[in-house]
Amino acid sequence: MLDDIILGQYVPGDSFLHRLDPRTKMILSALLAVLVFVVHTWTGYALYFAFTAALAAVGRIPPRYLARGMRPMVFFGVITFLFQLVFVREGRAVLDLWILTVTDRGVVEGFFMCFRLLLVVLVVLLFTLTTSAVELAEAVDRLLRPLRRVGVNSYDVGLVLSGAIRFVPTLLEQADKVKKAQMARGVVFEQGNLIERGRKVTAILVPLLLNVVRRADELGMAMEARCYQGGVGRTSRMQLRTGARDWVAAAVSVAWGVMLVWAGL
């Protein structure tokens, strides 16, 4: 299961998508994510999916890898679908089961909500798979820089993001160690009902949390020792450059979005 989480797992490459300015990618991804909630027809979703598939091809992301990344989301997709089935009351009833009434509108809405969820995740995946954590941090820093005037340290926000990504493997390793240590002391994680299992998880979470706090403390000290002062007077090694490529990407995406909306799809 954990191996399936590919969010934040950058796939190195030098495709058109990889070489885009991360700021452009971030803004366009956000726009695309909004657009998914505007689309409301089958054709619209088909076109939207075709566009993201084209993006994946341009970014040279293997479809199978993407599919694997989407796998953990299927569960949420199904839940969303069922929710719509139960709670949408408009439309013609197609199924009457005791207190449950499923309407035709409910079925359609169920599919649409499910598509929306999956497509948003797909867009986010395409962004993170083609953007390294360093670029991501830099983009966040630059995009949030105007907020410095109201006291937001944009550099810190970027650093927290890239730091989180940096520590994911370290913490997974740590969680595994704690789990094995608890197993060695007789905890059987695969046994018991849901409540018992939940209680056993705390045997992992508590030591893990303590460890994270200690780590954070030491990391903070090591950063201070390396003259960290919260981005003040700091140079950035990464130079972000917006070029013709970015304008092309923006023009294509915006034109395509406007078309979808204008055609009422």
Partner 1 sequence: MTAAVPEPRPLSRQVPAEGIRLRGVFHTYGRGTPHEVTALRGVDLDIAPGQFVAVVGHNGSGKSTVAKHLNVLLQPTEGDVWVDGLNTRDPAARMAIRRRVGMVFQNPDNQIVGITVEHDVAFGLENLGLPVEVIEQRIDEALRLLGIEHLRHEPPHRLSAGQKQRLAIAGVVAMRPRYMVLDEATALLDPAGRAEVLDCIVRLNREEGLGVVWITHFMEEAVHADQVVVMEGGQVVMAGTPRQVFQQAEEIRRLRLDVPLVTRIAAGLRERGLPVPADAVFLEEVVQSVCRSASGD
SS3 29: helix
Residue 181 sits in the site that holds partner 1 (CB under 8 A):
no
Residue 101 sits in the site that holds partner 1 (CB under 8 A):
no
Stretch of 22-30, 90-98, 127-135, 187-195 lying at the interface with partner 1 (CB under 8 A): 127-135
- Residues 6 or more apart whose CB falls under 8 angstroms from that of 161 comprise 133, 136, 137, 140
Would you say 89 or 234 has its CB closer to partner 1? 234
SS3 64: helix
Closest by CA to 252, choosing from 54, 33, 63, is: 54
Residue 228 sits in the site that holds partner 1 (CB under 8 A):
yes
CA diameter of the chain: 68
SS3 178: helix
Give me the least distance between CB of 171 and partner 1, in Å please: 10
Would you say 176 or 196 has its CB closer to partner 1? 176
- C-alpha distances in Å from residue 144, one per residue of 19, 22, 105, 185: 21, 13, 41, 48
**Quick one: CA torsion of 209, 215, 221, 224, rounded to 10 degrees?**
-90
Residue 210 sits in the site that holds partner 1 (CB under 8 A):
no
Q: Which of 5, 215, 250, 256 binds partner 1 (CB under 8 A)?
A: 215
Q: Which of 105, 145, 166, 177 binds partner 1 (CB under 8 A)?
A: 166
Helix (H) or strand (E) holding 101: strand 100-103
Give me the least distance between CB of 7 and partner 1, in Å please: 15
Tokens 């689309």 correspond to: 39
Residue 253 phi, psi dihedral angles, 5° rounding: -60, -45
Which residues are 93's β-sheet partners?
A: 103
Residue 145 sits in the site that holds partner 1 (CB under 8 A):
no
Residue 241 sits in the site that holds partner 1 (CB under 8 A):
no
Stretch of 22-30, 37-45, 86-94, 232-240 lying at the interface with partner 1 (CB under 8 A): 232-240
Stretch of 90-98, 144-152, 166-174, 176-184 lying at the interface with partner 1 (CB under 8 A): 166-174
Stretch of 61-69, 71-79, 157-165, 254-262 lying at the interface with partner 1 (CB under 8 A): 157-165
Residues in contact with partner 1 by CB under 8 A are 132-134, 159, 162-163, 165-166, 169-170, 173, 215, 218-219, 221-229, 233-237, 239
